[in-house]
Structure 1
C-alpha cells in the first residue's frame, strides 16, 4: 500500500503515460505490480460546482448524492496513477476500454470525507492480447460505499495464462438486433470536450479530430463512460435506488457528431437478460444495427 496525500490530476498522468507507453512493447509474458494506492481523506466539500456541472451535462437531477458516474470520475485519476507506473507492464496509450462494473453500496453525499484506494488485478488472456482490471474503492467512515472495476485490453500483449485463456476470455458475441428505441441522442462535435471538462479526461481521441485520426478513427469519438453515465441518469435515482449495481460493455465507438438510438427496458421485458430485476440499456447507431454499448442497472 502506497499512501498519497491527495488525488492526482489527470493532465500530468496522461503526459507520463504517453511518455511511458513508448517503452512498453509487446514481447514476453507480462506481470502486474503488487501495489495499491490509497488517499486517506478526500474532502468532497469543495466539489459542489463540479457536481452541478456533471449533473447538468449528464442529465442527473440536482442532489447532494454523488451518482456512480461521478464517483467514477473522482476515483479515475488514482486508477490511472497505477497504470502510468514504470513497472505497470501495459501502455496507457492504445488501451481499449472493454467494460465496467460498479456497485454503490450506500449513498455518498457531498461534504463527506472519503478514503479512496486503487489497484490493478487479474491480468488474463484475451483473443486479441491481454486484459486487466483496474479496481477503485471508496469508503466512508470505514464502510465500503462504492467499488468500481474497469476492464481494459492491451492488444498484442501476453498474459501469464495466455495458453488457452484467449479462447474463453472474450468469446465471439452472438448476433444482435436493435430493440424498439426509447430515446435518441444527438451528440454534437463538442460532446467529447464537454465531458472532458467535467471528467478531466482530455484524451485527444475524444476532443480532437486530428488526435482521433492518429489512432485510426475518422473523427473524434465519445467517451464510453459519458454514454454509460447518461444511460444511468436516464434510469434515474428513483428506479435505481440508494444501492445499485451499474454495468456497461462497450462494442463500437460513437463517432462525433453522431446520433445514437437508446433503449432502456425493465429486465422482465428482455428475454435473454438476467432475472434479478432492474433495467437493461442498449445504444446503437441510429438507423443501423451498429451496437455501441449495453448495460444494466440493478437495485441491490
Structure 2
C-alpha cells in the first residue's frame, strides 16, 4: 500500500493512493476510521490489510483526484524526535573527512545516532525555512526513512524486518555552521521547517528486505546525490537491533538512515542552498519529495 495524509477542506485525513497514483481512496471506502497515520500504524490488522487489497482489486471504489486535496507529510507531527544515522554511506565518509572541519570518520566506526527535533514535518511542495538571519550555509540531505510498525525491544537483526511498517523520504536539512559551532548535530538540524517528509509511506511488503532502491537529490534540476540504498555502512537490521537493546522503539518511530555523498558543503566551492532553490529528494518506488527554499 501507498499511504498518504492529506487535507480536504478543513479536515486532515488518511488515505491510500490508487494504483495509477493520480487519486486516493479515503479510509471511509474501506469502512475504516483511522483519523491519523499514527493511529493507523498503531491499530491496523493483517485482516484489514487483506480486506483493503481485495477491495482495491475490485476496481469499483470511489477515489478522490489528488488535484482536489493537499498532501501533507505522511506523519505531520511525529510522536518523538526522529532518530537519524550519521555518516552512513561509504562515499559520504570520504567527503565528510575532506570537507568538514570535525571530520575524522572511518567505515568501520560504530554507527552514529542523533536525534532531529520536528514539531511539524514539512509537507511535499511546502517551503524549507532558510532562517537566513542565523543560517549562512543551508544544506540538503536526501535519506530513506524507516517507520517502525510495532513496539520493538531487544530485537535481533534476523527479525528486524518484522518490525518495519514502511518507508518514506526525509530531507535532513542542515545548518552546517551551527553544527560546527556547537560540536554536535542536534540544533543545526532541528530548526523549524528543517524536516520535509513524504510524499507517501510505502508499506514494507512492497519491497524486498533490505530494500535496494535508487536514491537521488536534485537542486534546480542538477543531480547532486546519486546512489542506491545498499551502499549503507550500517544496515536497517543492524540499526533496529542495536537501538532496541534497552531502548523501546514505539510504533511510528522514524529512523532516517543517513545520506550519501554529494551534499552541498562537500562541493568545491560549496553549493549551499539559497532562497528560491528547488530541492528534489527522489527514491525509487516512493516518489519525489520536492520543496522550495523560502
TM-score (norm 1): 0.30
TM-score (norm 2): 0.30
